[in-house]
Amino acid sequence: MRVDVAIIGAGPVGLFAAFQAGMLGMKSCVVDALDCIGGQCSALYPEKPIYDIPGYPNIQAAELVYNLKEQASRFDPEYLLSRQVNSLSKDGDLFRLSTSKGDVIEAKIVLIAAGAGSFGPNRPPLKGIEKYEGKSVFYLVGKREELAGKRITIAGGGDSAIDWAISLSSIAKVTLVHRRAKFRAADASVKELYRLSEEGKINLVINYQLSALEGDADHLEKIVVSDLDGNEKVIDTDILLPFFGLKQNLGPINDFGLDIEQNYLKVKQPNYETNVPGIYAVGDVAKYEGKLKLILTGFAEVSSALHHSYSRVFDGKALHFEYSTSKIN
């Protein structure tokens, strides 16, 4: 396959890159290790509301992904899912990428929008947890309504744990377990959490951590939690949602000859080009001074990177800037 831009990562930023490339007359393909587009928005919190997308007072993550795909669809980007980019080399003026499924892509530029890289959940070290995974223990919420009426224990103190505790409290009996009293989440969410706790809609178990699981061969029935002094509590539970963050791994990207710092790709502002000319990094994977890890920041980075790449893609041709209202009829 020969394209103008190869986009690594099909999260929101990668999807917007497919649209922006099309706006500039560039043919693109998008590669992702997951079997669906949307990255973490699809895999981890499809029904989570997002409040800081301009023009939307709130929008569910899955709806944002759908809209971004629709926006890019007028330019027919190619999607190569369920595969990693295993190698990247230079062949004259082109980059050559090969994937884990044997695809070979030739591109004039590469735009890496890999988010957190290949990711997976941090699993709690509980004996026998494996037999409950996918039945009573889940590391992401697929369809919220499937949890209606359940006794749900959520473990963690970050945004995901608190957001889901708040969201599910209206349809289920929710207990939130955290090992300390301080939460690592937005102030407004923490205030809402305590308000719901005072109203009896969320059971807060603070200064305790997961200790053991009890149940039959297939389904969880109880969770044992303990504090630092060895005191224990037993929580009746149908579903355990441990939200202890993600393990981040750039995988083969580590071998692309890029300047990497703590699993992030260092880029130069204002165009987000890496140390390798023609390779750009945008979104959460990009690192520079003053970086804000927001979806809307990634959108802006995409626009700057692709505008900068225009002369490379079109053999030195200067870009005549136009607004979208004059480009799309």
Q: What is the 3-class SS of the chain, one letter each residue?
A: CEEEEEEECCCHHHHHHHHHHHHCCCCEEEECCCCCCCCHHHHCCCCCEECCCCCCCCEEHHHHHHHHHHHHHCCCCEEECCCCEEEEEEECCEEEEEECCCCEEEEEEEEECCCCEEEEECCCCCCCHHHHECCCECCCCCCHHHHCCCEEEEECCEHHHHHHHHHHCCCCEEEEEECCCCCECCHHHHHHHHHHHHCCCEEEEECCEEEEEEECCCCEEEEEEECCCCCEEEEECCEEEECCCEEEECHHHHHCCCCEECCEEECECCCCECCCCCEEECHHHEECCCCCCCHHHHHHHHHHHHHHHHHHHCCCCCCCCCCHHHHCC
pLDDT-derived band of residue 116, with 50, 70 and 90 as boundaries?
low
Strand 78-80 and strand 173-178: the pairing is unpaired
Core vs surface per residue 260-269: b (16+ CB within 10 A) or e? beeebbebee
Question: Angle between the 159-168 and 187-198 helix axes, to the nearest 10 degrees?
Answer: 40
pLDDT of residue 120: 64
Residue 182: CB atoms within 10 A of its CB come to 10
pLDDT-derived band of residue 323, with 50, 70 and 90 as boundaries?
confident
Question: Which residues neighbour 199 within 8 Å (Cβ) at sequence distance 6 or greater?
Answer: none
pLDDT of residue 143: 79
In degrees, rounded to 5, the angle at the alpha carbon of residue 329 between the alpha carbons of residues 303 and 325 is: 45
pLDDT-derived band of residue 193, with 50, 70 and 90 as boundaries?
very high
What pLDDT, in 10s, does the model give residues 150-159? 999 999 999 8
pLDDT of residue 314: 97
pLDDT of residue 170: 95
| Contact between residue 280 and residue 271 where contact means Cβ atoms under 8 Å apart | yes
Core vs surface per residue 5-25: b (16+ CB within 10 A) or e? bbbbbbbbbbbbbbbbbbbbe
pLDDT at 320 > cutoff 90 = no
pLDDT of residue 121: 72
| Contact between residue 165 and residue 183 where contact means Cβ atoms under 8 Å apart | no
Which domains are delineated in the chain?
A: 2-119+246-327 (3.50.50.60), 123-242 (3.50.50.60)
Q: Tell me how far apart the terminal alpha carbons of the chain are, to the nearest angstrom.
A: 29
Percent of the chain with pLDDT over 90: 75
What pLDDT, in 10s, does the model give residues 131-175? 999 899 998 787 788 999 999 999 999 988 998 999 999 999 999
| Contact between residue 28 and residue 77 where contact means Cβ atoms under 8 Å apart | yes
pLDDT of residue 123: 86
pLDDT at 68 > cutoff 90 = yes
pLDDT at 183 > cutoff 70 = yes
pLDDT-derived band of residue 177, with 50, 70 and 90 as boundaries?
very high
pLDDT of residue 329: 66
- Rounded Cα distance between 283 and 287, Å, is 9
pLDDT of residue 119: 60
Q: What burial class does residue 50 get, using C-beta atoms within 10 Å of its C-beta: 0-12 exposed, 13-18 middle, 19+ buried?
A: middle
pLDDT at 117 > cutoff 70 = no
Structure-block tokens of residue 134: 């996918």
Q: Which region among 180-189, 222-231, 307-316 has the lowest average model confidence (pLDDT)? A: 180-189
pLDDT at 321 > cutoff 90 = no
**78 beta partners:** 29
State mean pLDDT over 207-218.
92
pLDDT of residue 47: 72
- Rounded Cα distance between 16 and 285, Å, is 15
Most confident of 67-76, 125-134, 159-168, 252-261: 67-76
Which position has the token pair 């099909």? Answer: 10
